[in-house]
Structures are given as structure tokens and as C-alpha cells.
Amino acid sequence: MAEIRINVLIKANPGKVYNALSTEEGLASWWAKQTVAKPEVGFVNVFTFGKQFRNEMKVTNLTPNKRVEWKCINSIDEWIGTDISFDLEEKDGNTILRFAQSGWREVTDTFAGCTYDWASFMKSLKLLCETGTGTPS
């Protein structure tokens, strides 16, 4: 099994980052503009990119200001069954964000391309939390 792991320091408190990761408005402001989401364990968030790339993510863990976790239940084949998690650790009023997408069957070109894309979206999340404006797709 392979795993994408990305850490970044966000100069905002964990509450602000948690909000961006759990609410529809937050998620639409850094990841997919077309987002249907609820901060509710068991709810299936739907993220659509353009007309074709639709992701269904079941919310499996919501620990306020600490952790958000999803199970991918519908997407491209390589993503189905992967777990996506965001861990937040407070440090001096800021947030260390630890992102992971685990359960990849193997390291492929898609894996390496998604690593680039996820890092770009972590930058978007950081910008959203620090400046109020992200760069969602």
C-alpha cells in the first residue's frame, strides 16, 4: 500500500482550518467550487471538478479542531477505498496540518500527479486560512 503525505504550517488557528475542512463553504473555497458537504459523520460529501471528475467522500471522523477524515466511495478507480485525513496540531497559535491519502494499491503516474495536485490544494487551503482567499478548482 502507498500513501501520499503532505505537511504544511498554516498561520491561522486550528478552529479556522477545521472550519475550512468541514463546512460546505470552507471546502468550496479551497478545493472544489462545486461542493455539497455537511459537517456530519456518515454524510457523503460530493466534490465535482468540471463536468467529469466527481468524488464522493463519506465523512468518517470529525474531531473539532483536531481531525477530519473521509473514505472515498466513488471517484476514479485508483481513489476508491482510499482514506483521506487532515490532522491539525496547534503550535504557538498556528496550525501544523498533516494531510494523508492512504490505501493506494501502488505508486503510479496517477499517484505522483495527485501528489502535485494535493500539494497545490494544500497551498490553496493555507492561502484561504491566512488571507481569506483560496484557489479552488
Which residue ranges make up the site for its own copies (CB under 8 A)? 3-8, 98-99, 107, 109, 111-113, 115-116, 119-120, 122-123
How far is residue 112 CA from its own chain's centroid? Answer: 17
Q: Which residue, 13 or 115, has its beta carbon nearer to its own copies?
A: 115
Burial of 33 (0-12, 13-18, 19+ CB in 10 A): middle
Q: What are the residues facing 71 on neighbouring strands?
A: 58, 83
Residue 132 Cβ vs its own copies, minimum distance, rounded to whole Å: 21
Q: Which of 86, 101, 97, 74 is nearest to 22 (CA)?
A: 86
Residue 122 Cβ vs its own copies, minimum distance, rounded to whole Å: 6
- 64 neighbors 72 (Cβ within 8 angstroms): no
Q: Which residue, 72 or 122, has its beta carbon nearer to its own copies?
A: 122
Residue 24 Cβ vs its own copies, minimum distance, rounded to whole Å: 26
Residue 127 Cβ vs its own copies, minimum distance, rounded to whole Å: 12
Residue 125: C-alpha distances to residues 47, 52, 135 (Å): 15, 23, 8
Q: Which residue, 45 or 95, has its beta carbon nearer to its own copies?
A: 95
Single-letter amino acid, residue 67: R
Q: Which residue, 43 or 111, has its beta carbon nearer to its own copies?
A: 111
